[in-house]
């Protein structure tokens, strides 16, 4: 187990907020995008102060997850930046994805999806690869692309930048969930049954940059009027949510922050998340632990469209995504992996994640109202 790092003790709300600010600043250090590590814990996108989200089927995978040879890339894939301004209706429909410069393997893997869209829309569809999230967001904000595949917090950052994009649909994970929750885990025999019972107890965060294991719970605690440095007896940070929960099981801490879809059989650790990992890899007996708190839903990353795209086309694209698994399993697998289909989604479920977007990345109106 990685050693726990003790946090300093704070005595004021201001310093507690400073702690949140520090956590957010730490999250902008270069790193992976919305993609779980080991275990599959959602991580903060490098450009956001957030993964996939657990292993979200919707956002672009990390380059090493793409196995198709770059020589097989489609001629309809562009590595250069698309030109402004927005194209006329007859022009190609433009999709932006995240991929390292010159790496076209992910775009090649998306070829069944691209050709399916082209056939259903009756127009050419082109895929443009972007080297990082900020480039993708900037291209979408200025309508140099029509459509993008995001992680949850990168979508929030893009929306905060221009308020000119909207989600169409979200890929359901293999267990049928459209997202996951931050959870607080304790030992069943601890006598702790609620967040209030954690007063004066020790809490372990599940990583510095983990959305569910650290950053989003701070937002949720603040919304509930809880100052972590005053409410809990001590705070420490583990390397990841799995190690945080292991420390609770070992009696080294009273509570740990982790993540779970909370969907599926509870005795098996639910469909996906920290507890499922521990059941599968450590043989955890779920009767030994209890989930005493959960956050609001953190949705999987969406497929999003620029608001300037005509409403009729937006509605058509949404229907294509919702029907994709049934209509073209190959195209669905290409874009959503082992997910169980797409579900239409609005902006509202992503709104809580705006608290994780740094003010410098928001449009002035949001900065004033934040």
Residues 6+ apart with CB under 8 A from 69: 105, 108
Distance of alpha carbon 35 from alpha carbon 30, whole angstroms: 14
Report the candidate in 179, 183, 234, 241 with the shortest Cα–Cα distance to residue 208.
241
Q: Are residues 166 and 304 in the same domain?
A: yes
Domain C-terminal end among 296, 324, 349: 296
Residue at 279 is within a domain = yes
CATH code of the domain in which 220 resides: 3.40.190.10
Peptide bond into 232 cis (omega under 30): no
Q: Which domain holds residue 70?
A: 63-174+300-361
Residue at 37 is within a domain = no
Residues 6+ apart with CB under 8 A from 134: 47
Domain C-terminal end among 261, 277, 296: 296
* pLDDT tens-digit profile, the chain (370 residues): 444 555 534 444 344 444 444 444 333 333 333 333 334 333 333 333 333 333 333 333 332 222 223 233 333 555 445 555 555 556 899 999 999 877 889 999 999 999 999 999 999 999 999 999 999 999 999 999 999 999 999 999 999 999 999 999 999 999 999 999 999 999 999 999 999 999 999 999 999 889 999 999 999 999 999 999 999 999 999 999 999 999 999 999 999 999 999 999 999 999 999 999 999 999 999 999 999 999 999 999 999 999 999 999 999 999 999 999 999 999 999 999 999 999 999 999 999 999 999 864 554 433 322 2
Q: Are residues 70 and 108 in the same domain?
A: yes
Residue at 287 is within a domain = yes
Residue at 3 is within a domain = no
Residue at 12 is within a domain = no
Q: How far is CA 285 from the centre of its chain?
A: 28
Q: Are residues 84 and 183 in the same domain?
A: no
Q: Are residues 316 and 292 in the same domain?
A: no
Q: Are residues 198 and 236 in the same domain?
A: yes
Residue at 318 is within a domain = yes
Distance of alpha carbon 2 from alpha carbon 360, whole angstroms: 34
Domain C-terminal end among 248, 264, 296: 296
Q: Are residues 107 and 247 in the same domain?
A: no
Report the candidate in 178, 205, 219 with the shortest Cα–Cα distance to residue 49.
219
Residue at 46 is within a domain = no
Burial 4-38 (b: 16+ CB within 10 A, else e): beebeebeeeeebeebbeebbeebbeeeebbbbbe
Phi then psi for residue 260, to 5 deg, are -160, 150
Residues 221-280 pLDDT 10s: 999 999 999 999 999 999 999 999 999 999 999 999 999 999 999 999 999 999 999 999
Q: Are residues 111 and 131 in the same domain?
A: yes
Q: Are residues 273 and 317 in the same domain?
A: no
Q: Are residues 289 and 308 in the same domain?
A: no
Q: Are residues 286 and 305 in the same domain?
A: no
Q: Are residues 71 and 170 in the same domain?
A: yes
Residues 140-179 pLDDT 10s: 999 999 999 999 999 999 999 999 999 999 999 999 999 9
Q: Are residues 105 and 164 in the same domain?
A: yes
Residue at 27 is within a domain = no
In the chain, the number of structural domains is 2
Distance of alpha carbon 22 from alpha carbon 223, whole angstroms: 18
């Amino acid at each position: 187990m990685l050693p726990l790092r003790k946090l300093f003790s704070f005595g004021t709300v201001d310093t507690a907020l400073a702690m949140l600010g520090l956590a957010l600043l730490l999250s902008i250090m270069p790193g992976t995008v919305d993609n779980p590590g080991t275990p599959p814990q959602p991580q903060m996108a490098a450009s956001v102060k957030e993964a996939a989200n657990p292993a979200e089927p919707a956002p672009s995978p990390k380059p090493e997850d793409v196995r198709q040879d770059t020589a097989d890339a489609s001629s309809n894939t562009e590595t250069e930046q698309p030109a402004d301004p927005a194209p006329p209706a007859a022009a190609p429909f433009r999709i932006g994805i995240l991929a390292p410069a010159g790496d076209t393997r992910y775009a090649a893997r998306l070829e069944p999806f691209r050709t399916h869209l082209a056939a259903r829309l009756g127009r050419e569809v082109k895929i443009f690869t972007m080297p990082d999230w900020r480039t993708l967001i900037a291209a979408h904000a200025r309508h140099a692309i029509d459509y993008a595949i995001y992680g949850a917090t990168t979508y929030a950052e893009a929306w905060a930048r221009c308020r000119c994009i909207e989600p169409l649909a979200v890929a359901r994970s293999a267990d049928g969930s459209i997202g996951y929750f931050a959870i607080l885990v304790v030992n069943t025999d601890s006598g702790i049954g609620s967040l209030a019972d954690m007063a004066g107890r020790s809490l372990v965060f599940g990583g510095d940059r983990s959305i569910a294991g650290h950053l989003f719970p701070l937002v949720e605690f603040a919304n509930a009027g809880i100052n972590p440095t005053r409410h809990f007896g001590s705070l420490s940070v583990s390397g990841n949510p799995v190690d945080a929960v292991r420390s609770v099981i070992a009696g080294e801490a009273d509570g740990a922050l982790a993540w779970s879809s909370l969907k599926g059989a509870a005795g098996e650790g639910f469909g996906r998340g920290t507890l499922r990992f521990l059941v599968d890899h450590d043989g955890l007996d779920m009767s030994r632990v209890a989930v005493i708190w959960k956050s609001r839903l953190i949705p999987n990353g969406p497929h999003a469209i620029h608001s300037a795209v005509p409403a009729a086309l937006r509605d058509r694209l949404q229907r294509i995504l919702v029907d994709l698994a049934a209509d073209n399993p190959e195209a669905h697998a290409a874009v959503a992996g082992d997910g169980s289909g797409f579900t239409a989604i609005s902006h509202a479920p992503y709104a809580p994640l705006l608290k994780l977007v740094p003010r410098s990345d928001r449009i002035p109106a949001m900065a004033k109202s934040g």
